[in-house]
Amino acid sequence: MRTRPRGPLVRLVLAALAAIAATLAVAAPASAAAPETGWTCRAQSLTLTAGGQTPLQELTNILASGGDFQPCAPTGNSPVASALKPLTDALAVLGVGVSAVETGTTSEVSKPTRDQVPTARAKVATLNVALAGTQLVHADAVESTTTGRCVNGKATLASTFDVGNLTVFGQAVDLDQPVTQISRGILGLQVLVRVTPGAVTESAAFGHTRRALRVEVLTGIGPLQVSVLDLGVGVSNVSVKGDPCAAAAAPTVGVPTADGRTLTATVAPPAGGTLSGCSFTVTPATGPATTIPGVIAGGTCTAVLPPSAYPAGVYTATATATTAAGGAATSTPSAPFTLTAPTAAAPTVLAPSIEGRTVAASATPATGTTIASCRFLLTPAGGSTVAVAGTFADGRCSATLPRASFPPGGYTVVVTATASNAQVGEATGPATIAGPTVGTPIAVGPLVGAPVTPGAGATIASCSLAVTPAGGGPTQTVAGTYDAPTGGCAAILPAATFPAGDYDVTVTATDSNGDAAVAGARVTVGQFAFGTTPSATPKAPSTSDVAQALLVCEGGKVTLTDVSRSGSRVRVTGVAQAGLKGQTAAIRFVAKGRSATTVARVKVGADGTFSVAVKAPAARYRTSKANGRYSASIAGSTSRAFKLVRRTVFTRTTVGRGTIRVSGRVAAPLPRKGTAVKVTRRLTCSRYTTVVTARTDAKGRFSASFKAPADGAAGVYRAGTKVPSRKGGPARSSSFTLFRIVAGK
């Protein structure tokens, strides 16, 4: 009996293999050598066998985090997005599409030991498989995770998987079934699709491999079956080389000796290792033992025993040292030593504080003595105490806290100062290392940013935005501009590089202490800005557009745009994020001598804006001394409070016949007649352009006209001038109106 040809579907597959090879042959990353002993990890979004053969090993490597099997060092996502375009182009004949793929291999340290957990994780957001125009398989949220642990000194591998939704030929598949097979006729041939959720493979060479989903497509006539496609989706692997769970090599620790209240022990790391810390366990002749951290310097571990914790008496001590790999060793006990009661006054030490990354405390020695040494013990909430040697100068003990050992957060700090007469003074207090903070990124038009706050005593040194298309594509880093007055990091994304659409944006801010903070969100980038309209944009910015743009600079979900009083009423206007339309914003008023109260509630319009007139407060709250302010709150976010009384205000803005006219006044003490008032248009969070310069009259009034934008675009305007602080005094203080949004026509 003669075998029939394989059929048109198989020929399509084999024809595509040549295109795959030509596209990806030079794209495979180089592979690093796997360790002789340790864990190796790989996370793959997709593996492919087509027509019964794997077209290229590079095809799977390019979609793997780190390429071939690698040591389980922390890595970011592999460059899957850039690899997917040539892959999907090459597979267009098959109609295989993978989008929003994320792969990553992570572990807690670069060389995991018994206390660490190496992990390989692979995620695929969406998978579509089609042949000859017919969709075979659709899957959402496919993920697998494989981990390695040391259990009772032995390497143990385990894995989990999850598939959010799965259909074959449009039929929902029961994911509790180990295997599902569905067939249908396509192009005169019977096509069989077989799906296996959570397939696991154990191999001596490749360890434990979990496929979150295996998709097999076969075709044939009668008993003849030909493999068209075999996909592994969301593949994670951890394998074992040698004995990674063996005990780490221990350091060498000498027997401690005591000199007055100072304990010293020699310490040395094992060959090829490094020391991570040391401590002393001190045992009195009667009573429980206690442990005090030591400081490692020059091959010795030292600690000073403060009188408050270690009164006069006889003690013994042991020293313990640990390595970065988890090895530890403890010395034999020391010979008994005697601590005597102070015979002279101890130094006076004040409570410590932290500014930036410098911890410091004032210390004053007793008469006739000097400060010989000092140190700090810092304990984070729920963490271990770390000792840092201090330097005494100009009456202060201080030390610089390295970022690697002391992340931002709250600490309990104990400072000890040892005098030349061997007496020790100490003080304790809470202190905080304040790192920067980054709020949730938002976008209005091409302007994308987030509110940023530096740590205490620091300034923001730099900020940047990592921008990734939501549908897949390369991540691009854009330098941001930090505007200190508004506290925001923002950048305008050029239309040529970032067309309108959804993007995943991560904002990173680094302060002058070197501490960094990160926040991310998915945002929608449009094509309008405060001042200009890109040529690719068919419409000019509207009033609601630029109002939304103010949110980028102000941060949060809501901001006020104007507060103005006319007689017995105050008009409060603002804007909330577009997604909050229809929700209610609370308008609050607060002043000196009056607690904050809600004076109105207003519904957010379809364009995100709101406006409400409220009863003006009593006359005693309408003065600058009362400092009356209005704010808006919605969805857990509160705007910056705007002053009711300002030195410079707009009184009127009108538009007609292509001309914008603004009027305003400056309150007493008045500037001299003819003082310049600059009317500016806001372009970005920190950039303005002057559109016209007006002059004050004898009563502080000003007015001016200027040409409206030719395209009718709305703009954000304000006026600013210099004002005196007293009558007849020099005009040195800057005063600005609130922003006024004006439509071009």
Which residues of the chain carry a pLDDT beneath 70? 1-37, 50-117, 204-206, 221-224, 444-445, 485-486, 526-545, 548-549, 552-556, 684-686, 711, 744-745
DSSP state of 202: E
Q: What end-to-end distance do the CA atoms of the chain give, in Å? A: 83
Q: Hey, how many other C-beta atoms are within 10 angstroms of the C-beta on 698?
A: 9
Assess if residue 333 is contained within a domain.
yes
- Do 613 and 713 belong together in one domain? no
* Half-sphere exposure in the Cβ direction for 40 (13 Å, CA): 22
Using the 3D structure, point to which of 414, 433, 452 is the last residue of a domain.
Answer: 433
Q: Are 148 and 155 in contact (CB under 8 A)?
A: yes
- Do 734 and 699 belong together in one domain? yes
The count of domains in the chain is 6
- Do 266 and 137 belong together in one domain? no
pLDDT score for 423 = 85
Assess if residue 462 is contained within a domain.
yes
Assess if residue 116 is contained within a domain.
yes
Q: What is the largest CA-CA distance in the chain?
A: 114
- Do 471 and 502 belong together in one domain? yes
Assess if residue 2 is contained within a domain.
no
Assess if residue 474 is contained within a domain.
yes
- Do 710 and 729 belong together in one domain? yes
Helix (H, G, I), strand (E, B) or coil at 48: strand
pLDDT score for 539 = 53
- Do 498 and 390 belong together in one domain? no
Assess if residue 538 is contained within a domain.
no
Q: Which CATH number do you get for residue 292?
A: 2.60.40.1220
Find residue 642's DSSP bridge partners: 630
- Do 600 and 684 belong together in one domain? no
- Do 69 and 105 belong together in one domain? yes
Helix (H, G, I), strand (E, B) or coil at 655: strand
Report how far apart, in Å, the C-alpha atoms of 320 and of each of 257, 277, 332, 389 are: 13, 8, 10, 18
Q: Hey, how many other C-beta atoms are within 10 angstroms of the C-beta on 736?
A: 15
- Segments of 114-225 assigned E as strands: 119-131, 134-151, 154-168, 171-172, 180-186, 189-203, 207-220
Using the 3D structure, point to which of 433, 462, 496 is the last residue of a domain.
Answer: 433
* Half-sphere exposure in the Cβ direction for 27 (13 Å, CA): 24
Of 156, 154, 207, nearest in space to 41 by CA = 207
pLDDT score for 76 = 44
Calpha distance 681→662 (Å, rounded): 12
- Do 118 and 79 belong together in one domain? yes
pTM of the model: 0.40
- Do 107 and 194 belong together in one domain? yes
Assess if residue 3 is contained within a domain.
no
- Do 23 and 121 belong together in one domain? yes
Calpha distance 148→711 (Å, rounded): 62
pLDDT score for 555 = 61
- Do 116 and 209 belong together in one domain? yes
pLDDT score for 512 = 82
Assess if residue 201 is contained within a domain.
yes
Q: Which CATH number do you get for residue 725?
A: 2.60.40.10
Q: Are 129 and 215 in contact (CB under 8 A)?
A: yes
Domain that holds residue 724: 648-742
Using the 3D structure, point to which of 307, 339, 371 is the last residue of a domain.
Answer: 339
* Helix-strand-coil split of the chain, %, nearest 5: 5, 55, 40
Helix (H, G, I), strand (E, B) or coil at 551: helix
